[in-house]
Structure 1
Amino acid sequence: MSFASLSSGSAARQRLGIAAAAGSLLLTACGSSSSGGPAAPDLHGQLPEQVRSTGVLRIGTDLGYAPIGFKNAAGKPDGLDVDLANALGGVLGVRVEFSQVPFDKLFMGLQAHQFDVVMAGVTDNLQRRDGTDAKGMKMNSGVDFVDYFVTGTSIVVAKGNPQKITTLDDLCGRTVALQRGTVQATLAERQAGVCEKSSHKKLTVQETDTDDQALALVAQGKAAADLSDTPAAAYAAQQGRGGAQFQVTGEQMQAGPYGIVLSKEDTVLRDTLVKALDRVIRSGEYDKILSKWGLSAGAAQNAVVNGGF
């Protein structure tokens, strides 16, 4: 995700440590019983005691990835994840409370119990579920996902596509920018190996704290392309200087689900969220939320646990 020269409705996303989580910015959004259907006493009673007693579901997020999650012109949390979280809170009869944390610090914040779940456009994949790095080395205890949306990776280039990039192979010999800690970072690392073997042209990967910063490198001509999730890529193309700054090129790659992230031991909360999400989907509110953000193509038919690649 990136910032660059986007409108004020844009920001960017991605995630390391406990200290950062402890110093996170707290933002609240009240779950409304009208958002995802009436509050369901049966589901409220199935919540873990801590959530039930406080009446709050604490969510770690990075509000910098429009239209998934960002701060709107009024400085309030907005986007797909925010609306869906509010709908879930309404069904569960609790208030949702967001902690703003850099994307690459969200998992450690979750493990430090700074929040109950993470919702930040996080792709569900085996590496994250197992808590391993790209080389298979164990990094943490892993997480569970409750999947709620399907998307993939897209390539963003300068308007007019001056370097005629349409595939990952076209990036060989060039610089690509992306947000650290994302699935795009793993994808680029793998492509760098392909470039070296097939064309002997080095792919330089420039990692940034946010996707907006990656987009800025493209805008400045310091990177040939930005790799980001398809919704964020499309938003950047539409919003950057009124659509005159960036464009999406090529086909979507590596489609997979976004998921609500939970610690593996939080099975009670996980299973309750599955039921709540299914109710939001069946109520029709889920489709309304996706339509509002132009994301209907990524609709899930039902909640799935750990369904990623």
Structure 2
Amino acid sequence: MKKALLILALQAVAATAFAQGKDLKVAIDPTYEPFTFKTADGKPAGFDVDIASALCEQIKRKCVFVEQVWDSMIPGLQAKKYDVIISSMSITEDRLRAVDFTDKYYKTPSKIVVRNDIKYTDAASLKGKKIGVLKGSTQEKYANGELKPAGVIVTPYEAQDQVYLDIKSGRLDGTVADIVEVNGGFLSKPEGKDYSAVGEPLLIPKYFGAGVGVAMRKGDAALKGELNAAIKAIRDNGTYKKLNDKYFKFDVYGQ
């Protein structure tokens, strides 16, 4: 009996060690600077990537990053192409029907961005204007819910950097995007000099949810618990602040 119990105990220890040592496949969309992007030599980088690496260190797993088009993120997760999504995915009611989320690890507002010669007052003032949005994003949901009914032409794109290319070429009048991302990916660059963020910060819960979390398959309670503990740990031990300050001049964790 004692021998059987000892064998079971050793098996449990071995299983735990295996779980801690195996890779964690992390989906990212590397077109979302400064959260997720690729360096000149093709390596994944950004706040999301660094947060993922810090969480993997906490749970003693190795992060393996898998590039994925944004609109296919959740289907890819459900198909078990990767274990989690750590790529600025907002926790919304719609997504919670399909996947589980950890606690948030940041929360920033979105904004409408248009050319400086467009006099913005409300959605109606953009009637006839062409706005590009990331396909499958909270910004697309907002644009379809609030701007399209006012006569705005809303066009979805597979990647946010494609939106900026079409703004630059004159095919679009603007975008709706996370304010931090659009500052880093467009407004702070030469091609963004004639554009500005307008209107109030967009934090409407039915569109933008309750912040950004790590997404995983439904029912993966053990991994969710580990990652929630890891998020708390990096918040408490100073790692989060160090990564925050590497990219931002303010606290992106939000309220």
TM-score range, shorter chain: 0.7 to 0.9
User: Once the 2 structures are TM-superposed, how far is the Cα of residue 282 of structure 1 from its aligned partner?
Assistant: 0.1
Q: Which amino acid aligns with 1:223?
A: L
CA contact (8 A) 1:63 1:71 kept: yes
2:135 is aligned to 180
Identify which range, 235-244 or 76-85, moves more after superposition: 235-244
C-alpha separation in 2, matches of 1:192 and 1:51 = 50
Q: Which amino acid aligns with 2:197?
A: V
Runs of 4+ with deviation above 4 angstroms: 48-51
Q: Which string of whole-angstrom CA distances, capped at 9 and with x for unpartnered residues, describes residues 176-230 of structure 1?
A: 11111101111111124541xxxxxx22111111111112222222222111111
User: Once the 2 structures are TM-superposed, how far is the Cα of residue 49 of structure 1 from its aligned partner?
Assistant: 5.8
C-alpha separation in 1, matches of 2:133 and 2:249 = 22
Residue 196 (structure 2) pairs with residue 247 (structure 1): yes
User: Once the 2 structures are TM-superposed, how far is the Cα of residue 109 of structure 1 from its aligned partner?
Assistant: 0.8
Q: Which amino acid aligns with 2:101?
A: F
Residue 37 (structure 2) pairs with residue 82 (structure 1): no
User: Once the 2 structures are TM-superposed, how far is the Cα of residue 243 of structure 1 from its aligned partner?
Assistant: 5.4
Q: 1:222 to 1:238 in 2, by over 3 A?
A: closer
For the pair shown, the structure with the greater C-alpha radius of gyration is 2
1:233 is aligned to 182
User: Once the 2 structures are TM-superposed, how far is the Cα of residue 291 of structure 1 from its aligned partner?
Assistant: 1.1
Higher helix proportion: 2
Gaps of 5+ in 1: 1-44, 131-141, 196-201, 302-309
2:99 is aligned to 143
User: Once the 2 structures are TM-superposed, how far is the Cα of residue 151 of structure 1 from its aligned partner?
Assistant: 1.2
Q: Which string of whole-angstrom CA distances, capped at 9 and with x for unpartnered residues, describes residues 213-255 of structure 1?
A: 1122222222221111111111134442275354322322026
Percent identity of paired positions between Structure 1 and Structure 2: 26
Specify which of 108, 116, 139 is matched with residue 75 of structure 2. 108
Q: 1:283 to 1:168 in 2, by over 3 A?
A: farther
Residue 59 (structure 2) pairs with residue 73 (structure 1): no
C-alpha separation in 2, matches of 1:267 and 1:215 = 38
2:156 is aligned to 207
Q: 1:51 to 1:238 in 2, by over 3 A?
A: farther
Q: 1:51 to 1:221 in 2, by over 3 A?
A: farther
What does 1:220-299 align with in structure 2 at a 5 Å threshold? 220-241=169-190, 244-254=193-203, 256-294=210-248, 296-299=250-253
1:20 is aligned to none
C-alpha separation in 1, matches of 2:173 and 2:164 = 10
C-alpha separation in 2, matches of 1:277 and 1:72 = 25
2:125 is aligned to 170
Q: 1:170 to 1:51 in 2, by over 3 A?
A: farther
Helix, strand or coil: the match of 2:108? strand
User: Once the 2 structures are TM-superposed, how far is the Cα of residue 289 of structure 1 from its aligned partner?
Assistant: 0.7
CA contact (8 A) 2:47 2:244 kept: yes
C-alpha separation in 2, matches of 1:246 and 1:222 = 14
User: How many corresponding residue pairs?
Assistant: 237
CA contact (8 A) 2:30 2:38 kept: yes
C-alpha separation in 2, matches of 1:177 and 1:187 = 12
Q: 1:149 to 1:172 in 2, by over 3 A?
A: same
Q: 1:247 to 1:275 in 2, by over 3 A?
A: same
C-alpha separation in 2, matches of 1:169 and 1:149 = 31
C-alpha separation in 1, matches of 2:249 and 2:211 = 13
What does 1:188-203 align with in structure 2 at a 5 Å threshold? 188-192=143-147, 194-195=149-150, 202-203=151-152
TM-score normalised by L of structure 1: 0.71
